[in-house]
Chain A
Amino acid sequence: MSKTAFPPAIKSRPVYGVLEPRPGAVHLVVADGEGAGAVTDMLAKAADRAGMLAAMHIIYTPGPNGTDQTAMLAALGAKQCYRAPTIPTLLPRLTRVLSDAHMGTQFYLAGTEGLIGQAERDIMATGFPHHDIQKEHRGSTVRRVQCVHCKGITENVATDPFVCSHCGLSLFVRDHYSRRIAAFQGVNIDAEDPGQVPPPVVRFT
């Protein structure tokens, strides 16, 4: 199980494991922030570390809290190691890599839920089973939340409730998660009593 301790939640809430080396012709790593540590821990378990690195492509971006471990990953000596400045700039590279990837590619996702979820969504879109994409949570627990009313997505949500960055409604953050959208669900908290909004509490750090 994941080293991040999440409170008990409904079944919809994603759960994360620990990255394990698996056989593959290509090892595609997508990580952000503290996820870099999950990659080095996984490599430490590899029977053929050099062989794995020779077939490894790392796509990395700093975490939402600013953690940047690019230097540590670059020093591993993977075949390719690319640093994107942000998640939105990381995803087009992933899409490009997927466009001519072959079966036998092994996927390793590590870091925050926003990064893991969006990478999983794009890999899944090829027809690859999400069940077989390895995912390990590390670092920040801020959430990517979709407003169920205006459908706008707010990144890096830390408090509950929070104000939708698109329509301005106060939203309660649910554990209800969409793998297709790669976001948690945010629902208007004062629909019945407009203005009765409880004070925001920092739930995600």
Chain B
Amino acid sequence: MSGGAKLKVRVAEVVNVNDMIKRFRFVSLDGSPMPAFSGGAHTVVEMDDDGVRRLNPYSLMSDPEDRSAYEISVRRDDAGRGGSLFMHRHVTPGLQMEISYPVNLFPLDTRARKHLMIAGGIGITPFLAQIAQLTHFGGRFELHYAARSQALGAYMDRLTAAHPAQVHCYFDDQGQVIDLARVLSMQPIGTHLYVCGPKGMIAWVLSTATSLGWPEKALHHEEFLAPGTGMPFQVDLAATGKTITVGTNQSLLEAMEAAGVDAPYLCRGGACGQCETNVIACDGAILHRDHWLTADEHAAGRKIMPCVSRFEGKSLTIDR
């Protein structure tokens, strides 16, 4: 089955972290330990939203050595497609859910002498697990964490209390900005950089580091894309002989699944590459939205990532 094996879990606890963020704690149905994971891993949470199947990736934020449960934090996106709203409104303690086994697309490179982490908003979650992991074996780290305001700075209290010398907080509403060039210039050789947050922040951090001579393989980032909306379009599926219509609020992957096509996937956010599909014929424009394919591959138009990318034009035939 696509997406890998599933874990059947029960929601043990739901906590209001702040006005925008709720934390969910999942335990196994039979009380057995949860599978081990490493800091930076995510799980794909499956939701049955009144007949609509939603699958959203969320970073695991709990201590990787704590096998008693997984914890995720979900920021409510009122303008999104509805996954985070479903989590906030309908997921309550006791509910049984299915989640994927953990997948790590944002692991620590443990060869690094030091780990420099830069987080924006809800992008803090993978770092919570990574910091717990590093703390167990004495790994060196430094965290720069920017939030809109003190009230929306989730987990800042616990981070600064546990690691006062390593954690630096910034608040947009107070006009505070990370002095990135200075921070980057002070890191010992062998430091690796990790950034997770809004798209603009990731681009700013990566481009600044590159311009200061930071090596490509020491720069790590994670950004899950929501599939995004767009005009409905029709797709011919060559392998299964089906023709499907992708709705405005649906991804191509979701439309295939709704038509009973078992297409491969893992992250559902344009990052992992699992759903990569060959384009057999295309009369129109593929709207590439992933960051898996290279710029050349986007231009060539012979591959598409159905989890986030769309199509506009006369006809599209893909190999599914």
- A residues at B contact (CB < 8 Å): 22-25, 98, 100-106, 123, 126-129, 131-132
Quick one: which of B191, B210, B215, B217 has the most chain A CB within 10 A? Answer: B215
Inter-chain CA distance A128–B193, complex, in Å, is: 11
Contact among B111, B187, B211, B215 for A102, CB-based, below 8 A = B187
Q: Check B295 for interface membership: any CB of A closer than 8 A.
A: no
Q: Check B186 for interface membership: any CB of A closer than 8 A.
A: yes
Cβ–Cβ contact A101 & B213, under 8 A: no
Q: Check B30 for interface membership: any CB of A closer than 8 A.
A: no
Cβ–Cβ contact A103 & B218, under 8 A: yes
- Give the residues from 205 to 260 in chain B that come closer than 8 angstroms, CB to CB, to chain A: 210-218
Cβ–Cβ contact B192 & A127, under 8 A: yes
Tell whether A23 pairs with B211 under 8 Å between CB atoms, given A129-B218, A131-B217. Answer: yes
Inter-chain CA distance A24–B218, complex, in Å, is: 15
Residue of A nearest to B209 (CB): A103
Cβ–Cβ contact A104 & B111, under 8 A: no
Chain B nearest CB, measured from A44 CB (Å): 20
> Interface residue count for B (Cβ, 8 Å)?
23
Chain B nearest CB, measured from A24 CB (Å): 3
Residue of A nearest to B188 (CB): A102
Closest 4 CB pairs of A and B: A127-B190, A132-B215, A126-B190, A129-B217
Contact among A22, A98, A128 for B218, CB-based, below 8 A = A128
Quick one: which of A105, A106, A123, A129 has the most chain B CB within 10 A? Answer: A129
- Give the residues from 55 to 107 in chain B that come closer than 8 angstroms, CB to CB, to chain A: none
Inter-chain CA distance A98–B94, complex, in Å, is: 55
A contacts with B: majority SS: loop
Cβ–Cβ contact A126 & B113, under 8 A: yes
Quick one: which of B109, B189, B216 has the most chain A CB within 10 A? Answer: B189
Cβ–Cβ contact B212 & A132, under 8 A: no
Q: List 8 A-B contacts (CB under 8 A).
A: A23-B211, A102-B186, A102-B189, A103-B213, A106-B213, A127-B113, A127-B114, A127-B190
Beyond the given pairs A127-B114, A132-B218, 18 more chain A to chain B contacts, judged by CB atoms under 8 angstroms and listed by A's residue number, are: A23-B211, A24-B212, A25-B185, A25-B212, A100-B188, A102-B186, A102-B189, A103-B185, A104-B185, A105-B189, A123-B189, A126-B113, A127-B111, A127-B113, A128-B189, A128-B190, A131-B215, A132-B217
